[in-house]
Amino acid sequence: MAADIKCPDCGHEFAISDALSEDVKKELRDKMKDFVKKKEEEFAKKEDEFQQKEKDWQKEFQQKANEWKREAELQKQAVAKQFDEEKLKLQQSLEQNLRKNISADYAHKIQLLEDNNKDTEEKLRAARDREINFLKQVEELKDKEAELELTLQRKLLEEKNKISEELRKQEEQRFSSREAEYQFRLKEMEKKLEDQTKLADEMKRKAEQGSMQLQGEIQELALEEMLRLAFPFDMIQEVGKGIRGADCIQTVRNSFGQECGKIIYESKRTKHFEKAWIEKLKTDMRSTQADVAVLVTQARPDQMEVFGLLDGVWICSYTEVAALTQVLREGILKMYTAVRSQQNRGDKMHLLYDYLTSHEFGEQWKAIREGFFSIRLSIQKERDAMEKLWKAREKQLDKVLLNVAHIKGSIEGIAGSEDIQLNLIDDTLEETEEV
């Protein structure tokens, strides 16, 4: 019998563990929502500050890049201006040399012209060389300018990456500390919930312990009633309080009302079999002068799948006791008849041995065992089929609950847990417990 509480107003019954754990769950759930909401607000605030800092740093980087670009443009203009000045000086020098050559003596004009031509060619060659060198310098300056701009871009990118990495590390440290605090709070709440669950289980166990004793008494009464209905000629008596183990005694009577023998019964309804029950029942059998002892138990000894004889005591389940009693009763009646008809013989045990080893007894016992095994096999097949069906449905239900949990997590991550109420799992558990 389950440990339930019945509402005096509506008559609804619910388990003690539900009444204790639901308040705790609700309190912990509300605390968890407040904690998560607070931490999400702090995270959003920190994220806005980080974005504003990133914008300020980008603006500062852009200003520095513009300044470096202006400096490079000024250097380029200075180099171009120097090139124009050198070119102008070279032209002026050539003009002066030409004027000197024209004003010289006519006699030496040809020679001078030739000399001047040579000098001019050499100077022109030198000027061309200088111009080529100057152009090379200009190209080198352009290359240096491009390299400078590339270096500048690299420095900007490295600096940006460095700052981003520092910011990321700072955020990771903040998140790690926040995650550690969250895990600590979560473990604390889980510990409280576990303590409350253990307390509820302990109270439920104590309630079930009392109900097990009540169930044992109910089985004793049911056994007596079943024996009275199955064997109306026999006398079913409750064992006196001085006898510890036995529950009732069946006095077997024949059709003439003569007492032929006694069967003593002990009823147990526990989850584990104890061998001490056998010795106690054998002691009770001797004290009541019973012929046969039967132990009706829900838990069987190891390696005993059906009813059988163990250390002089017949052991069976409640469903088997009627068939076993019928066989034992027939044996007692036949033994009594044989004893009565053979009273002149001295060895009465020989008669019992002959009957128990006879073909008739063997065939009857064989038929009983075959019928029992057939029924047990049918029950086992039905049980296996139902367990297979239950396992398949349980896996389907777990799959549905897993998908619901994923959807719930996604929705709460977007909208927040205070806006969306998804209690599919709790409702399902409540409906299952009510059923």
Give start and end residues of each alpha helix (H) in 231-239: none
The candidate with the shortest Cα–Cα distance to 267, out of 242, 293, 292, 295, is 295
Residue 95, pLDDT score: 73
Whole-number Å distance between alpha carbons of 12 and 4: 10
CA 367 to chain centre: 51
Contact 327, 364 (CB under 8 A): yes
pLDDT digits (tens, 9 = 90+) for 46-102: 778 777 877 877 787 778 777 777 877 787 777 778 777 877 887 777 777 767 766
Taking the CA atoms of 110, 111, 115 and 118 in sequence, report the sign of the dihedral they define.
positive
HSE-up of 277 (CA within 13 Å, CB side)? 24
Token reading at 263: 């069967």
- Asked whether the predicted pLDDT for residue 129 surpasses 60, the reply is yes
**pLDDT for the residue 113:** 67
The distance of Cα 434 from the centroid of its chain, to the nearest Å, equals 25
Q: Is the pLDDT of residue 103 over 70?
A: no
Type of residue found at 222? A
C-beta separation of 292 from 332 below 8 A: yes
Domain boundaries, the chain: 14-207, 231-357, 386-434
DSSP secondary-structure letter at 289? T
| Exposure b/e, 116-130, CB count within 10 A at least 16 = b | beeebeebeeebeee
Tokens of residue 294, six digits: 């039967």
Amino acid at 158: E
Token pair of 382, please?
Answer: 């039905």
Please return the burial class of 280, using the count of CB atoms within 10 Å of its CB with bins 0-12, 13-18 and 19+.
middle
Arithmetic mean of pLDDT, 404-426: 65
pLDDT of amino acid 240? 62
* Residues 331/335/341/344 CA torsion (nearest 10 deg): 170
What is the value of pTM for the model shown? 0.35
What pLDDT shows up at residue 182? 64
Q: What are phi and psi of 166, to 5 degrees?
A: -65, -45
The answer to whether 237 and 213 are in contact (CB under 8 A) is no
Q: What is the pLDDT of residues 259-273, one digit of tens each?
A: 999 999 988 887 888
Burial of 404-434, coded b for 16+ CB within 10 Å and e otherwise, reads: eeeebeeebeeeebeeeeeeeeeeeeeeeee
The pLDDT score that the predictor gives to residue 213 is: 57
Q: How many residues does the chain have?
A: 435
Band (pLDDT 50/70/90 cuts) for residue 415 is: low
Q: How far is CA 355 from CA 264, 336, 350, 412, in A?
A: 22, 11, 9, 79
Query: What's phi and psi for 106, nearest 5 deg?
Result: -65, -30
260 three-class SS: strand
Amino acid at the residue 89: K
Paired strand residues for 261: 252
CB neighbours (10 Å) of residue 231? 19
pLDDT digits (tens, 9 = 90+) for 11-37: 767 665 665 566 667 777 787 788 778
Does the domain at 231-357 match CATH 1.10.3210? Answer given as no
